Structure 1
Amino acid sequence: MVLKFDCVVYMNMKKQSTIDEFFKRKHSSSTQDSKNPLEIVLDEDTPTPNVPIIENRFKKIVLKIMKLILNWKKVGGKNCAFLHHTGIECTSFHNVAQKSCDDLLNEAHDIQNVFETFTEEERTNNRLRLKATIYTVCLCAFQGIAYRGHDEGSDSINKGNFREILKGIGYFNIEMEELFRTAPKHALYTSPSIQKEILNLISTRVRRMICEEINGGKFCLVVDEARDQSNKEQMSIVLRFFNKDGFIMEHFFGLVHVPDTTSQTLKNAIYSVLSRNNLDLKSIRGQGYDGASNMRGHFKGLQALISTDCPYAYYVHCFAHRLQLALMAASQGVVALKKFFTRLSFVINVVGASSKRTDQLRDAQAEEIAYKTYVDELETGKGLNQIATLQRAGDT
């Protein structure tokens, strides 16, 4: 039994003594068609024949709601419960649910019907364009080159590696060139979002292959974090393990953005990556980090937190970081290098302490960029030749 209530219809008919005109009962049983719908609803104790139990429960709920309305003349007024439930705005729960129901029952909007409108030729052309995009994405990823260019406009001479490779494919294949030239704007499959989606699928497949190579065995973690060009803290994860042939393998496993570099945050990010890829945390047999306090701390460092959960995950100070510390200590004994970095720090302090000197430096940089651009020594494009502040020299 399904009851349908329309507030607008009732407000236009509220002078009537009964509500059977706008409570419409829809049920396949022909035996109940002769009964008044209002009588069926008000009959709380007698279950309706040929109606599921859940619909009889719904009948009781409707009865309780109807008993709350003592005066039917006030329906449609300021405090009308029906109008309050329906809502005036189109974003109300009732209107959203009604819109979802209408969309569900509308067969013309079914995704299957939308796909069936395409011809076999259109499907073939779309697959060819997508295959060309996938091949180009894989090629750029394998060669380790950038995808996008500084200017990808129609008038740009160099639109970046991705679009130039696609252009080269069309140059040697007239059919592919015609496919991309006549393709609709929504089916080019060359947007940055499509590139990222394909890259994400490739990375997922690579991680799955690494997990299959580990095959439930033991592995070691090599983790480091650094800040990228956009000042976001990124943590890289490398897995080191023995393969089935007994050779030591070391594979880059993922790059994770972390909001901060506290040991607890890094631990949660590492555990999340390993859990998503079905790697047992108890199988960790080694940890390799730098010598920062948040990494090697004996009590609250990352190695201490992981060692608590994995007693056999022994920590080893990264040998590359050890070499870096040794070179830094050795460079302090070279007089020329020590003087150079001392004077460099002095220049940065002098310029940064005065806004006037900072403005003079920026004006000088702008003049130099303008001159080199004029004599064609610098390329122009989006994001190029920006005037930046002086960066303090670091230990690395």
Structure 2
Amino acid sequence: MNQAQHIEVSLDRQTTQQISANRLRLKTSIDVVRWLSFQGCAFRGHDESSGSKNHGNFLELLSLLASYDEKVEDVLKSAPQNSSYTSSTIQKEILQIYASRVCNVIREEIGDRKFSIIVDEARDESKKEQMAIIWRFVDEQGQAAGEVVEVHQFFKDLSDIVNIASASSNRHDELQKAQATELTRLVSINELATGIGMNQIDTLQHPGETRWSSQLNSVTSLLKMYNATSTVLENLKNTASNYSQRGDAHNAYSRLRSFEFIFILHMMKEVLGITNNLCQALQRRSQDILNAMSLVLTTKDLIQKLRDDGWNELLKKNDIFL
């Protein structure tokens, strides 16, 4: 074997070993993400620095798996900094893939059959309101089935998108400029009415933790500024000053443009819009029982109407945004 052939064989062997090591690192990270997500555990630690005594669930579980497998331990210790597959960005991407697959399975399982939705909310130990949506339907075998969609995750994504898109004065200015451009475009094609005080440039609003009205305002503001927000995030994922910011912008943009997020965004606007008057009335100190009962009945009727006739319209709105 001549020298050129020897070098080529050596490079091929090194490449094969590197691919195998990368796959093992990624597989280990995937297993950790799957276990933590199924158990509903937090991923990140308060302090993940090398001197920390607790690096968070993800890194600690990764270390535990490595302690039982020498191959895993070796590839993790020898991992290059740019391909360790343990960063928060990689964790989020893996989790997003799982979430997408779960949603696809739910959609396939429901198919064209009719279904109902139950919305409930409760305050947890940290005094934060946690909302869940339960989808009830009858499967192909005629058995009642149900799936829970964590709306808390939706509002977390919504908060992240708002934070990233308007994190600084520069980004806020970019967002305002993009919104002005979008309004001009809509007016030019006669899709937006004009007049004094109309079409003012708004700002994105953060969803509150306990008030449905603030969540409604946040959802509404993002719908109004959806294209502008999308433009800003798309620019950020390519032009942000460092890798971390580009990764965060990329994840936020991907989530913003996903079918699931857009569908829940429109659905929450409808649901929160229907229940907003009732919530406002029930929060008043002086209660008019007759008026409150009337609002309860009206709210039930409107939700029933949405349940019976509102889905086609929601899907049409979704198609426009995609």
TM-score band (shorter)? 0.3 to 0.5
Work out which structure has the larger RCO, using CA pairs closer than 8 Å and 6 or more positions apart in sequence.
2
When normalised by structure 2's length, the TM-score is 0.47
Q: Report which of the two has the higher share of helix.
A: 2
When normalised by structure 1's length, the TM-score is 0.39
